[in-house]
Structure 1
Amino acid sequence: MSRRALTLMVAGFLTLLLAVIGAMLPVPYVALSPGPTENTIGDVDGKPVISISGHQTYPTEGKLSLVTVAYQGGPGNRLDLVTALRGWLDPAVAVVPEETLFPRSTTAKQVEEQNTQEMTDSQETATIAALNALKIPVEKVVVVVQTDKGAPAEGRLKAGDEIAAIDGVATAGLDSVGAAVRRHKPGEQVKFTVKRGDAETDVLVPTVEDKEGKAVVGVRMKADYKVPFKVDISVGQVGGPSAGLMFSLGIYDKLTPGALTGGKNVAGTGTIDPEGKVGAIGGIEQKMVGAKKAGATVFLTPAGNCADAARAVPPGLRLVKVETLRDAIDAMDALRAGKQELPACPA
């Protein structure tokens, strides 16, 4: 073999080797693909997604499915270049920078914990929104989340305490508690009336002066709600806040006679607040593909996602634009009645 031929052969081998190694190298991207769908008025692993006790419920039919996005990649489990390239070529997959899902200041575990908490919060908020839509009274309360280390409230107030009154005046919301404390001079005591378990007790907490010269006790609180009956939601490992709308519809459906869908296969997405406002979400393209694969014919779409959804909607999937829970309920009523004119996402 001539020296020139040998040189070309070695060069070709090295080029191939480098190409193979390069293809196997991890890249800082995440591949988003359609995830599983779950029928909120159905079962998961033999258990109802939504269980209600202490209030009359009604049988229903059809599907009100939440949709999800699955991902590959992330810190400690990065994509290789070949997988990333394959995703870029697949219209049902979005390949995005790793920071989109995993900000540099957070770990994969922290992101997972945040998604779990967001799911829990969305279930609670969805319950309140559904009950508000049904005009079922829900009591607003203020609950202690935690106390600051070394602060006067530490050891006196406890996580889970419901603050019923301050200095004998009934609590009128989260802001009213802070305002009542600040009306004191630093060094004075504040009388908290708290409900702890089944008991109600008065707790005296001294104040200290903060950087602005105002009285504080070092307690962190949140606005919460007391539902008059029990609503349990279970969807396994699904995380994030984007199933809120579909949870609300599932609860509403179970608490009202008849089938909200009229037996249709409906999917949708969107965050929700206690007043029933629907918020935009991420991964709308992948979620529509997942809905279509699961047999959905109608897709409830947050108004904030309409433009992106209309550009990528799968054939045969009808987009219905919703801004509130009431919009979604009205759309279901119209579909059930056979009406064809519904708010649609712009083409």
Structure 2
Amino acid sequence: MPRRTATMLASTLLFIALLCAGVLLPVPYSEMSPGPTVNTLGDARGEPVLDIEGRQTYPTTGHLNMTTVRVTGADYRMNIVETVYGWLAHDNVVVPHDTLYPDGKTEEQSTQENAEEFTQSQESAKVAALKQLKIPVEMRVLVASVRKDTPAEGRLHAGDLIRAVDGKPVKEPGDVAKLVTQRKPGDRVVFTIVPAKDAAAAEKARKEPTTTRKVTITTVPAPGQNDRPIVGIEAGTDHTFPFTIDINLADVGGPSAGLMFALGIVDKLTPENLTGGKFVAGTGTIDDDGKVGPIGGIEMKLVGARQAGAQFFLTPSDNCATAVSDVPDGLTLVKVEAMADATRSLEKIKSGETADLPRCSVG
């Protein structure tokens, strides 16, 4: 065989081997890409995203779109070819696999965590919206979780309302730990509770639960802290609302839609139209007091929002530095730190006074 032919054949075989390796060899990366956007003022799969009953609602126009990010699954391993393509693609981001799934987190664990965060974000969105409208919301302290193999297991349950500890009223989650730690390991602590089942039934009937019972639990030392007593629960908060607010959205996880849910609730409960028919999208976590927090994947959300037709994007202030580095043409980034900022900006967008909007800037 002539040397030139042999060289070409060897080069071809090497190229084929490298190509096969690129396709077959997994690398420790994952990919993020723009996900769908959903108008919180509209419908999803044939039902309203925000369904409010028991209170006067008003017609809305325009868009207040929540945004999402698609990610490759925890069990999916990208190959070299996919990774290089993702690096070169403008609308995708390739990140180390551990960034999305730290500590070997499985897809099931990630899905469960995202679902819990999504549920909490809905609760906080309702609270923040009603506080903005000065509609009273009652807070209750409950058992958020019970740790396995602790004295509380089988005696207290997630969802039980905690009225008192050793006869002393509980008003904040921190009160529970404070009262328990006033005792010693081995002491008996009496919890006055409303069982979760009774609490749920009373809430459904829009009544204050009246059935309580006392549960006595013997404390044990905290792991590694022999002088600190515990019973093995984590206290949390729940809220009762004066009317029903249902958020109907499946296959979405994480806390980042909180701001847009809250704004959608406010828009539906007020006669003034927040957007004036404009197309506004956004993102951001929200707490019970209306403070807006940062989220991940902001670049992907900007792309998805613009592709859907958004002209303005409500951006958490802590995400501004990243967001301004690559803004899609035709999209204005509006900086928000709290829900009140967002509603003021929406008023300006509605009236056309966009020159005065608080915009994201470099630095």
TM-score by length of 2: 0.89
Which secondary structure does the structure 2 equivalent of 1:164 belong to? strand
Alpha-carbon distance in 2 for matches of 1:116, 1:19: 41
Q: Secondary structure at the match of 2:91?
A: coil
- The aligned counterpart of 1:38 is 38
Residue 63 (structure 1) aligned with residue 35 (structure 2): no
Distance 1:185 1:108 in 2: 41
- Find the partner of 1:335 among 344, 349, 359: 349
Answer whether contact 1:59 1:258 (CA < 8 A) is retained: no
The structural deviation recorded for 1:179 is 1.6
| Displacement after TM superposition at 1:128 (Å) | 1.1
CA separation of 1:191 and 1:295: change in aligned 2, threshold 3 A: same
> What residue identity is the alignment partner of 1:206?
T
Letter matched to residue 167 of structure 1:
D
**1:119 and 2:118 matched:** yes
Q: Give the paired residue count.
A: 345
Task: Give the AA of the match of 1:70.
Answer: R
Give the one of 181, 200, 203 matched to 2:212.
Answer: 200
Give the partner amino acid of 1:342: L
Deviates more, 1:199-208 or 1:303-312: 199-208
Secondary structure of 2:313's aligned partner: strand
Alpha-carbon separation, structure 2, partners of 1:33 and 1:265: 22
% same residue = 48
Mapped pair 1:344 → 2:359: yes
| CA distance in structure 2 between the aligned counterparts of 1:308 and 1:185, rounded to whole angstroms | 50
- Matching residue's letter, 2:359: A
1:176 corresponding residue in structure 2: 175
- Residue by residue over 1:25-66, the C-alpha shift from the partner in whole angstroms, topping out at 9 and shown as x without a partner, is 322222211110000111011111111122222111110001
Aligned to 1:214, what secondary structure does the other structure show?
A: strand
In structure 2, what is the Cα distance between the partners aligned to 1:228 and 1:39? 25
Q: Following the alignment from structure 1 to structure 2, what is the Cα–Cα distance between the partners of residues 147 and 94?
A: 38
| CA distance in 2: counterparts of 1:313 and 1:136, whole angstroms | 37
Partner residue of 1:304 out of 318, 323, 333: 318
1:61-100 map, 5 Å: 61-72=61-72, 74-100=73-99
Residue number in structure 2 paired with 1:51: 51
Distance change (3 Å), C-alpha of 1:149 and 1:97: closer
Which residue identity lines up with residue 40 of structure 1 in the other structure? T
Return closer, same or farther for 1:90/1:186 CA change in 2, 3 Å cut-off: closer
Equivalent runs, 1:315-334 vs 2, <5 Å: 315-334=329-348
**What is the root-mean-square deviation of aligned Cα atoms in Å?**
1.8
Matches of residues 152-167 of structure 1 in structure 2 within 5 Å?
Answer: 152-167=151-166
**Distance in 2 of aligned mates of 1:118 and 1:152:** 27
Partner of residue 269 from structure 1, selected from 283, 288, 294: 283
Distance 2:8 2:68 in 1: 49
Counterpart CA distance in 1 for 2:98 and 2:58 is 45
Contact residue 166 and residue 177 of structure 1 kept, 8 A: yes
What are the within-5 Å matches in structure 2 for residues 103-252 of structure 1? 103-196=102-195, 197=198, 198=209, 199-210=211-222, 211-252=225-266
Shift of 1:318: 1.0
Between stretches 188-197 and 321-330, larger displacement belongs to 188-197
- The answer on whether the counterparts of 2:140 and 2:237 sit within 8 Å (CA) in structure 1 is yes
CA gap 1:44/1:6 in 2 versus in 1, 3 angstroms: same
- TM-superposed CA distance for 1:329, in Å, is 0.6
Per-residue Cα deviation, 1:73-127 (whole angstroms, up to 9, x for no partner): x443222222222222221111111111111431122112211221111111111
Tell me the residue number matched to 2:15: 16
Distance change (3 Å), C-alpha of 1:215 and 1:28: closer
CA contact (8 A) 2:176 2:235 kept: no
Q: Matched residues in 2 for 1:71 and 1:105: separation?
A: 16
Q: 1-side partners of 2:149 and 2:329: how far apart?
A: 60
Distance 1:186 1:286, change over 3 A: closer
Partners in 2 of 1:313 and 1:343 — Cα distance? 16
Q: Distance in 1 between matches of 2:241 and 2:155?
A: 27
Indicate conservation of the 8 Å contact 1:38/1:235, yes or no: no
- d(CA) in 2 for partners of 1:324 and 1:23? 47
In 1, the alpha carbon distance for the partners of 2:155 and 2:47 equals 41
* Distance in structure 1 (CA, Å) of the matches to 2:118 and 2:191: 31
Contact 2:180 2:230 in 1 (8 A): yes
| 1:259 Cα offset (Å) | 1.6
Deviation at residue 150 of structure 1 after TM alignment: 4.2
Q: CA deviation at 1:222?
A: 1.4
Quote the Cα distance in structure 1 between the aligned partners of 2:280 and 2:57.
21
Tell me the SS of whatever aligns to 1:79. coil
Letter in 2 for 1:243: A
Distance in 1 separating the partners of 2:147 and 2:285: 31
